[in-house]
Each structure stands twice: as structure tokens, then as C-alpha cells.
Amino acid sequence: MNILITGGAGFIGSHLAERLLNDGFHVTIIDDLSTGSATNIDSLKANKNFDYYFESIFNESLLRELIDKTDVIFHLAAAVGVFLIVESPVRTIETNVFGTELVLKYASLKKKRVIITSTSEVYGKANKIPFNEEDDLVLGPTTMGRWSYACSKALDEYLSIAYWREKKVPITIMRMFNTVGPRQSPSYGMVIPRFVIASLENKPIPVFGDGLQSRCFTYVDDAVDALILSAFNDISVGKVYNIGNPEEVSIRNLALLINEKVGSHSRIEFIPYSKAYGEGFEDMQRRVPDIKKISHDLGFQPKHSLESIIDRTVEYFRKMKNSTIVTK
């Protein structure tokens, strides 16, 4: 079976490619390296069942050719990260909406199986906890660029479901909740990598706001499990699922826990949202997934606790740091 992963040189995409190759699939990735990295797939390049293209999915002729040869498409290509979203709302909207439209357009020609990755951001300012797939989405005003990502991914979902209902393209939508693990870049505002690196370097840990806002974190291997389960089970066609771990932690306590795990004495530096992202930025106080649906339909349960996630992430960045020191 042939698998195509858009955004396959990214953090999640590279882990997914690695798992699928180990399971005996032929895997092709396409990635423009705007937020992914060629080093993420270095270990895969020698595999005879692996092909890669460092190209944009806006290259329609190539995308159509790759989809035509594919049995299952994992569509992960997207503009991600709060920093990127705030700084480049045009790029965010165009990449997410137009990119998804192209994937669905060419998948529809031969009714290819498509797994669309979405985000917990689509819940917006909703305050009903935990977030259920059938809950209303509460987005902020169009004048605030901060909401462009949530809006564009919500539109991706509407478009995907429309392709399923009207054109019978077998899609599944997976809403990801704060996926974490090795290879995740801190460059776009990803909180755990930023905190771990600061703690390892004994630098102040930057906590935005008062740190009382809470999040739930999913280890990348668990997210990959969920993606693969959804792709090869017909019960998931036409459905939306949360992928997450309901274990909740405040950002302030997360910083303290990371310091403890690292054995660092880094102080917590509280930074106003206005300084980090500009005036008028809005954050959500809590974001907790309801995973009953994916558990019932696909048998998914996260295997990694928050402490395990932090341990593994600390180990990864400590090795990276030591490797850099040796190289220098």
C-alpha cells in the first residue's frame, strides 16, 4: 500500500513516516520545509520504500501525480505555531485553506482515503470543558489575526466534510491537542521545547500571562497511533475525532515540573501577552479534550503520561545540546 504524507518532514509527519515504513508501507512525503526540516527524515532516506519531495503542495501537477499513485493520504501540511500565525496571517490562511482544497480536489478524482489533521484551536474561546467534537466553535473577531489559524482550520473541516457528503471522498478529521516529542522545534511558540531548552541552559523560562492557563499534552507516538488507527478503519470515515491526553496542567506548574526534571534553578519569567504577541491577544484559559468518541470507535487511549512526555523530551534536547557541544 502506498502512503502520501503532506508536511512529511515536519515534527509529526516525520514520526508518522517512520512508523509506517517500519510497518512495511511505501511512504512518499512532500514538504516545502517552511516549518519542517530535512534533518527530520535523514534516517529514512536510505529506505527503498521511501520517496521524498521538497516541494510545495501548491505545485499542482506534482501533487496530482503523487495522489494518483497513493492509496491513503495523511494531510499534515499547514502553517502552525502561535508566533507564525500572529506574524503571517495571510500565509496561514492561504496555506491551510488552499492547500487542503488542492488535496481534496485531486483525492476526489479517484476517491482516495484522506486523513485531515486539524487542531484544538478550532474550539476557540469555548469554555465548556472538556471539548467534545459536537460542541459549538466560538471564534474571536475577524479583526484579530490571532484567530486566522482557528478559522482556517475550521474551514478545512467544513470543506472536508462537504467533499465527503457531496463527492463521497472518504475523509476523517483529527483534531490534535498539543502534540509533543523529539524533533519538535521551539521556533514557532511550542511551549514544552521552549521551556526545556531554557531550563537546560539555566535561562529564565518565559511564561506568558500569569501562567494559570492550562493545557493537555499528547506524546507524538500516541498521536501517530491515533492517525494510523483512523486511516485503516471504515468506521472513522466522515467523522471528526479529538486526539489528545486529558491530563491537565497549568503552564506555571509545567515550568516548575520541567525545572525539577532537568535539575535546573531557572527562574520563571512572566511576560505579558501584549509583549509576546502584540496588543489585544487572547488566550484560552483551559483546553481539555474529550476522547470518549475515538476511544469507543477506534480503541485509542494515550499511553504516555505528562511526566513521561517531559522525561523523553528532556532526554532528547539534552542529547541535542551535548551533541552540539561535542561538534563545536
pLDDT along the chain (328 residues), means of 10: 97 97 98 92 97 97 98 92 71 90 98 97 93 95 85 96 98 97 80 95 94 96 98 97 97 97 95 80 90 98 96 93 58
Residue 236 has a pLDDT of 98
Residue 80: which CATH number?
3.40.50.720
- Residues of the domain holding 68: 2-180+218-246+284-302
Give the residue from 59, 287, 73 showing the smallest Cα distance to 160. 73
Distance of CA 92 to CAs 3, 6, 96, 154, 242, Å? 25, 16, 6, 13, 22
Residue 327 has a pLDDT of 41
Total number of domains constituting the chain: 1
Distance in angstroms (rounded) separating the CA atoms of residues 190 and 12: 13
Residue 146 has a pLDDT of 79
Instruction: Tell me which DSSP letter residue 96 carries.
Output: I
In a domain, 155, yes or no: yes
**Residue 321: partners with Cβ closer than 8 Å, 6 or more residues away:** 197, 200, 201
Distance in angstroms (rounded) separating the CA atoms of residues 2 and 186: 32
Q: Decide if 149 is catalytic.
A: yes
Distance in angstroms (rounded) separating the CA atoms of residues 319 and 86: 31
The residue annotated as part of the active site, out of 52, 149, 219, 277, is 149
Omega before 130 cis (within 30°)?
yes
In a domain, 242, yes or no: yes
In a domain, 70, yes or no: yes
Which three-class secondary structure state does DSSP give residue 169?
coil
In a domain, 325, yes or no: no
In a domain, 255, yes or no: no
In a domain, 159, yes or no: yes
In a domain, 198, yes or no: no
Contact 219, 181 (CB under 8 A): yes
In a domain, 272, yes or no: no
Distance in angstroms (rounded) separating the CA atoms of residues 153 and 155: 5
